[in-house]
Amino acid sequence: MKILVTGFTGKVGYQVACYLQATNIPIVCAVRNPEKSKANFGDTYEYVSLDFSDVNTFDRALENVDRIFLMYPPGQNLQFDIFLYKAKEKGIKHITYLSLKDVQFMPFIHHYKMEKLIKSSKIPYTFVRAGYFMQNLNDFLCKEIRDSHRIFIPAGKGKTSFVDTRDLAEVSALSLIDEGKHINKTYVLTGGEALDFFDVAKIMTEVFKVKIEYTNPSVKEFKQYMRTIGEDEEFVNVVVGVHMPTKLGLAKGIRHDYEKVTGKKPTNIRKYIEDYKENWI
């Protein structure tokens, strides 16, 4: 068994790699720049070059692996149809795909199309449909929290079912290690409770002992500010889109698939904030 872990430098792929490495499962980490990854993450990992927009990287990345943790990155001209064709040709036994909670209601988004594409490839699969990542708070929301002590996002007063990417990684890894148990299954992974960003700010305040505020900007205010600090327009639109279901009250659903698969309760947000505290203060 050898698993190709895509998105290794990202919020979920890295955790998948850590989990598998700790379990002594052979892995190879797919990255766009192996030298940079070696410099940043060290050489305890094996790296292979993979760019989903460059078909010339596919054959080498698919060599000597039989399972794939597959994520869909940002970017243009991604050639997943060809990647999956080649994966089938090489005899890949299982793909665990990082998808999105409630994707079945969103035929216009890429995850919907990807799930269909994977099914039609006839490669056995597990779909991990994820709720809103807790780790967004130490990723694109981090700078404002750290520098201005505010959560600055147009999510309104809606609640969302925050999930820890370590929990996503655990279920993804288990589905790849013991694929017979998880074949052609779909798991919807959320945390154990839905929270709004006022709740998150309150817990951060308690953990940091520094006042953190959720300022609840309108979409217009958010976009204007992002423009003044030179953020990329396309990225800003994606961030607004990601938070729209929360704003509309559509992101609060809780599911218990993490517990069904692992027998444990999902990580709660206070534990996540305590574990990642040094990112913000």
Question: Which chain residues interact with ligand NAP by CB under 6 A?
Answer: 7-13, 31-32, 50-53, 71-73, 75, 98, 100, 130, 132-133, 136
| C-beta of 67 vs 111, nearer to ligand NAP | 111
Give which of 138, 40, 103 is closest to 245, Cα–Cα. 103
Shortest Å distance, C-beta 45 to ligand NAP: 13
| C-beta of 51 vs 179, nearer to ligand NAP | 51
Q: How far apart are CA 116 and CA 138, in angstroms?
A: 32
| C-beta of 59 vs 206, nearer to ligand NAP | 59
Shortest Å distance, C-beta 76 to ligand NAP: 9
Shortest Å distance, C-beta 209 to ligand NAP: 27
| C-beta of 46 vs 206, nearer to ligand NAP | 46
Shortest Å distance, C-beta 180 to ligand NAP: 26
| C-beta of 73 vs 253, nearer to ligand NAP | 73
Shortest Å distance, C-beta 210 to ligand NAP: 25
Shortest Å distance, C-beta 35 to ligand NAP: 12
Phi, psi of 244 (to 5 degrees): -65, -45
Shortest Å distance, C-beta 162 to ligand NAP: 9
Q: How far apart are CA 4 and CA 63, in angstroms?
A: 9
Q: Which residue is nearest to ligand NAP (CB)?
A: 10
| C-beta of 10 vs 217, nearer to ligand NAP | 10
| C-beta of 190 vs 210, nearer to ligand NAP | 190
